[in-house]
Amino acid sequence: MSNDQHLLSTTLSQETVYNGMIIDVAHVHIQLPNGNKTTYEAVLHKGAAAVVPVDDEDNIYLVKQHRPVADLLSLEIPAGKLDYIGEPHIRCAERELQEETGLRCEQLEHLTDLVTTPAFCTEVIGMFLATGLSQHENHLDDDEFIDVIKMPLSEAVNLVMTGQIRDSKTIAGVLMAWQKLHGPKASI
Amino acid sequence: MSNDQHLLSTTLSQETVYNGMIIDVAHVHIQLPNGNKTTYEAVLHKGAAAVVPVDDEDNIYLVKQHRPVADLLSLEIPAGKLDYIGEPHIRCAERELQEETGLRCEQLEHLTDLVTTPAFCTEVIGMFLATGLSQHENHLDDDEFIDVIKMPLSEAVNLVMTGQIRDSKTIAGVLMAWQKLHGPKASI
């Protein structure tokens, strides 16, 4: 990346200015490529994992849930926060899949490490495609209210393209799974 | 949505607990569907707009920039925060496209209103497909350091699928544009 030197800032120091329940906020002091100094605001998040579960009949399982912070009744792929900083994403993915949907999977294939909003937040979501699915009991938390919705993957793609699925990790997960399983090879 | 009543929480009250530079943090007091009360932490963000610029030869324009908060040298679609709460997304999209890349467009088509991370953040990014492009001068802020990279849209799809494009709005924008312009009709 030596030809990218003219783009690179240097982080000089950082201090936490807010300690929260699931996020902290820090001031990050930066030296820009032109030598100027500035301060960025950073939302610190420990990370998460998400799973795109697709069965042998090409159905996807989504969870419908109310997101009061975003004022959204949202269709999303199963996902959850890491239990602790450094927890392997794949372990979190497997747990959240089973807790939210009762599904277990034979294969869990890494799709990407999605950065939700790199301008101001450290959150990284490890994204996986789960196949070889079998249905077991789910284990919701007492205060978790979700419906599991099974639909053809093609229908989920349509819900993305018509603006009815709006969660960024779910748009990414649905379209990456579609591209992987059905898309024309992009490189022509 | 009457059959979704069992999923819906009620927001009782909200107070700001941190006032920041680009975000605030609030405690949102919620009554859950089972009557239990709880408090969610909410990152309040005024919103943003993003543009997928695709020219007549099927090239996309991306901006390469360093994101020190996320520790990422990132390839992203042109985007920026709203100037004020309530600014029309499409006006912000047009401005950011021209400021960052010098491109103007004849058509700006709404793709979706992406919610970056609905569990804890209010940020909504209005996403647009820009076509009919023509090159003019760009107008970077003094402390903005980016390279504009032009590549075939198919190559950007490959960079998504191989994990080299990791920003959520860019994954969504590239794959939605690809699906719209080249994808097989998803509904079979």
CB contact under 8 A, A166 and B114: yes
Give the C-alpha separation, B72 to A39, whole Å.
Answer: 17
Which residues from chain B sit within 8 angstroms of residue A120, using beta carbons?
22-23, 45, 69
CB contact under 8 A, A117 and B115: no
Tokens coding B40? 């969610």
Question: How much is the pLDDT for B186?
Answer: 44
CB contact under 8 A, A113 and B163: yes
- By the 10 Å C-beta count (0-12 exposed, 13-18 middle, 19+ buried), A139 is classed as exposed
Give the C-alpha separation, B52 to B60, whole Å.
Answer: 7
Q: State the ipTM, two decimals.
A: 0.96
**Predicted confidence (pLDDT) per residue in A44-65, tens digit:** 999 999 999 999 999 999 999 9
Question: How much is the pLDDT for B2?
Answer: 59
Which residues from chain B sit within 8 angstroms of residue A124, using beta carbons?
70
pTM metric for this prediction:
0.96
Half-sphere exposure of A147 (CA within 13 A, CB side): 14
CB contact under 8 A, B161 and A154: no
Give the C-alpha separation, A23 to A25, whole Å.
Answer: 7
Question: How much is the pLDDT for A39?
Answer: 97
Q: Which residue positions in chain A have pLDDT lower than 70?
A: 1-2, 185-188
Mutant choice from A1, A4, A69, A188 vs B, greatest count of B C-beta within 10 A: A69
pLDDT in tens, chain B (188 residues): 458 999 999 999 999 999 999 999 999 999 999 999 999 999 999 999 999 999 999 999 999 999 999 999 999 999 999 999 899 999 999 999 999 999 999 999 999 999 999 999 999 999 999 999 999 988 887 888 999 999 999 999 999 999 999 999 999 999 999 999 998 764 44
